[in-house]
Structure 1
């Protein structure tokens, strides 16, 4: 009696197995593979230019992925974005944190993905991770079908979600302490850099204006549009 041979494992199934078996993170049953957001982590999302500036300011953030421009599920992404993993439930806290920091609606580029949402599964990172400068991603990190690649990959077997940026008792202190920053400090840095990057893009789009403009970062014009000095500038 003929016996059915096992189907060869595809790279996509290998990606799914790594996230489910090594990391314990649930994935979708779709191709390309996506990670379910909410059960183990939430995601802070921002343009890549702002995100790279955040990475330079905060050397320890938890896992960070770079999302290619293109289609992300049903959404069209017009420019690369950084996806920073934060503690589960953090997405719900983002609006209140922005209000407390006096940013409010001033940072439309800063968003979050929470329970019920998903993110592309980045290519499985090499271990040990290949050395690179903060905020850079070499071409080998993306496969032919991956929409995202890790800038700061998670480490399997270490319950990575236990060290993600969070608020409340036990939250990290960031800085030189070696741990991930608390969520408020991370959002503060992200909101500041998103605002600065938006101003820079607007300035570059009007580069033919006369010389002698005020310095870009938080000029009088930007503060007038904000209507206040954000509390995050003091954090």
Structure 2
């Protein structure tokens, strides 16, 4: 084999290791393999979390290419927990957008046949459903903040962030997502003596309590103004309408 070909192959193998986001400038990774996803998000996600699905449709080839990249580079044993978590959060969010595009226009993700059960997403040699990624992979990592990072394409979901999660940035990104969601008055109504919160806290209550203390204790970790211990907790209706941009 010619020497220059061998060197080229070595460079290709080193890049295909996937987690490469050590150089971060102003919160934006300069070498992350997830930058293709971040570029799409910055072009098609508004500050309020609304998604321009028509714009995404025009760029569907770029989205498909990113998902193909993830499919060909599944997590390896030597990856850090942070790299694995970033990979699967990005995969979940990109897979959800792809699912909406396959059925667009649609009023709600729940109008789609088995949106969280059907195995649509390729990862290496296996196919996963959105439910597999959420319940069998991300939740098992033991960090309840993932519930504020994954987006179910609905109004009451946590906002789809206009950035990709990265190995080096995920700790601050998860904290940002948790604080943003919990303090969002459109998704939770919280006063010092009462908390009316998203049903996410009901559906996954065991995840939040598993980190120690009550649900109120968990909320107080991120609230700008803490709620009194022993405060009553109520759960708000969940709006499953599509988080499309307003006409």
- TM-score by length of structure 2 reads 0.29
Structure with a larger share of its residues in strand: 1
Structure with a larger share of its residues in helix: 2
- TM-score by length of structure 1 reads 0.30
* Higher relative contact order, structure no. (Cα contacts within 8 Å, ≥ 6 residues apart): 1
